[in-house]
Amino acid sequence: MDDKTKDIQKQEMEKGERIERARAAKVFTPDVDIVERKNDIVVIADMPGIDEASVDVTLENNVLSIYGKVDWDVPDKLKLLHGEYGIGDYQRVFTLSGDVNREKIEATVNNGVLKIVLPKAEAARTKKIAVRAETK
């Protein structure tokens, strides 16, 4: 199994790519895998600290937005001795190509991982066309 654990830093969003927000928290770009399957597109995002109540997924005109709000309190009386990662919200926006069946989008959260299954619309599915021998 190849390892892909070298880059340990969470990516904070660049100033230019986000809209200024009222909430004074850092915003991170979650790492995502996007897999196109036969009948759907699966978007998987690592968003540690979120649960089903604190994540928003919206689809508007082919623009899929993911936003996760992380509420985290500093442990009582404790002081940070050594900090390697930052804590904050997550945001990411994708433009989808192709048609998606909006009625059947499903999103689930498990152990801080968001999974969105976007079924392809009937028209966008790859159709296999049978090739027949021409009969004269």
Positions that interact with other proteins (CB under 8 A): 1-10, 31-38, 41, 44, 46-51, 74-75, 77-86, 110-113
Which C-beta is closer to other proteins: that of 110 or that of 135? Answer: 110
Closest approach of Cβ 135 to other proteins, in Å? 31
Separation of alpha carbons 112 and 115, rounded Å:
10
Closest approach of Cβ 92 to other proteins, in Å? 10
106-110 vs 113-119, strand pairing mode = antiparallel
DSSP 3-state assignment of 122?
helix
- Of residues 96, 25, 26, 27, the one with CA closest to residue 63: 96
Which C-beta is closer to other proteins: that of 77 or that of 132? Answer: 77
- Of residues 36, 33, 41, the one with CA closest to residue 105: 41
Closest approach of Cβ 65 to other proteins, in Å? 16
Which C-beta is closer to other proteins: that of 51 or that of 121? Answer: 51
Closest approach of Cβ 122 to other proteins, in Å? 18
Q: Are 59 and 123 in contact (CB under 8 A)?
A: no
